Amino acid sequence: MIALSHLQKLEAEAIFILREVVATCANPVLLYSIGKDSAVLLHLAMKAFSPGKPPFPLLHVDTTWKFREMIALRDETAAWLGLDLIVHINHDGVKAGINPIASGSRIHTDVMKTQGLKQALDAHGFDAAFGGARRDEEKTRAKERVFSLRSADHRWDPKNQRPEPWSLFNTAKKAGESFRVFPLSNWTEADVWDYIALERIPVVPLYFAAPRPVVRRGDAWIMRDDDRLPLQPGEVVETRMVRFRTLGCYPLTGAIESDATTLTDIIAEMRASQSSERQGRVIDHDGSGSMEQKKQEGYF
C-alpha cells in the first residue's frame, strides 16, 4: 500500500468535496477571484471532473478596482479552459459612485463585493458556491464548516453550524437556502504554494517581485495600477521591487518589498516571514471581530 503524502491527502479531500457538491446540489458555481487560492481550486475542479469539464460556471464579482493583470489572467484562463465565465458588477454601486478611495474600504467592500455577490447568486439561482477560503487565514474562518449553510438572505449563523463527522456532509437544504463550500478548508498558505509549484499552475504575475510604481501609505506600499488613484499631498510615486502575498482591490492591497522572482524564492520567503498573509488586507483590520461580522452579513 502506498501511503499518500500530505499534499495528496489534501488534494483527494478537495476533489471529494467538489464532487459531493455536484452530486447533491442543483446549480453550483465556482467563485473565481483570480488569486492563488482560486487558481488551485480551479485546477482541482479540472481534475475532479476529468475527462469532462467541471459542470458549473465560474463567477467573478468584479469591484472594478482589481489589478489589470488579474483581469487579463481571468479572461485568458476561462477562454483557454473553455469554461463559462460570469462577470458580475454591482451597477447600483457604480451609479452611486462607490469606490475604495472616497467611500472607504468598509463601504466599498460591502457594496461592491458582499452585495454584488448576493446579487449575482440570486440572479442566477445558484444553490452552492465554491470558495477558495482556508481555515488558516483568519480566526473566524478556522471555525467555518466545509459546507457552510446560508439562509435565504445569505446570513451565516456561527452558533448553529452543522456538525461534519468524517466526510459525511449533510447537504440537505430548504428552498432558498444555499451553501458556501470550501474545498481548501484544510490547506495552508504553504500548501497552496507547494501545490502551485508541484503542478505548475499559472498565477497572476503580481505575486512575483518586479519593479512597480508604488506609493507609501501608512505601513504599506500601494501600487498605482492606473491613474484613478489620487496622490495625497507629499506622496511621490516610486519604482520599487515589490510583490503581493494576497490580491484584492488594488488601493486596498499592500505590496511587500521583495526580490522573490520565482516560485522557489516565494516559498523560501514565506517560510522565513514573520507576518501573516492577510496583513496586507486593509479590510481585516477594522476590529478584531470584524471578519465574523462581515461573514454574518454574507461576505465570503
Per DSSP, the three-state class of 210 is strand
Is 65 or 179 the residue whose CB approaches another protein more closely? 179
- The distance of closest approach from Cβ of residue 233 to another protein in the complex, given in angstroms and rounded to an integer, is 28
- The distance of closest approach from Cβ of residue 132 to another protein in the complex, given in angstroms and rounded to an integer, is 13
- The distance of closest approach from Cβ of residue 140 to another protein in the complex, given in angstroms and rounded to an integer, is 5
Is 62 or 189 the residue whose CB approaches another protein more closely? 189
- The distance of closest approach from Cβ of residue 239 to another protein in the complex, given in angstroms and rounded to an integer, is 26
Is 1 or 236 the residue whose CB approaches another protein more closely? 1
By residue count, the chain amounts to 300
Kindly report the number of other CB atoms within 10 A of residue 216's CB atom. Answer: 14
Q: And the C-alpha cell for 109?
A: 467592500
- The distance of closest approach from Cβ of residue 186 to another protein in the complex, given in angstroms and rounded to an integer, is 6
At how many degrees (to 10) do helices 263-272 and 189-199 cross?
160
Handedness of CA 179, 183, 188, 189 (dihedral sign): negative
Instruction: Report yes or no: 7 and 198 within 8 Å, Cβ to Cβ.
Output: yes
Q: Give pairs for 293-298: CB < 8 Å, separation 24+.
A: 294/109, 294/110, 294/114, 295/140, 295/144, 295/156, 295/158, 296/155, 296/156, 296/157, 296/158, 297/110, 297/114, 297/155, 298/114, 298/117, 298/118, 298/150, 298/153, 298/154, 298/155, 298/156
Is 129 or 196 the residue whose CB approaches another protein more closely? 196
Distances (CA, A) of 298 to 46, 158, 195, 246: 27, 12, 29, 21
Is 3 or 236 the residue whose CB approaches another protein more closely? 3
Is 167 or 239 the residue whose CB approaches another protein more closely? 167
Is 63 or 246 the residue whose CB approaches another protein more closely? 246
Q: Which one-letter amino acid corresponds to residue 241?
A: M
Instruction: Report yes or no: 129 and 29 within 8 Å, Cβ to Cβ.
Output: yes
Number of helices (H), then strands (E), belonging to the chain: the values are 9, 10
Q: Which one-letter amino acid corresponds to residue 96?
A: A
- The distance of closest approach from Cβ of residue 86 to another protein in the complex, given in angstroms and rounded to an integer, is 18
- The distance of closest approach from Cβ of residue 13 to another protein in the complex, given in angstroms and rounded to an integer, is 8
- The distance of closest approach from Cβ of residue 147 to another protein in the complex, given in angstroms and rounded to an integer, is 11
Is 7 or 241 the residue whose CB approaches another protein more closely? 7
Q: For residues 45 and 55, what is the distance between their CA atoms, to the nearest angstrom?
A: 9
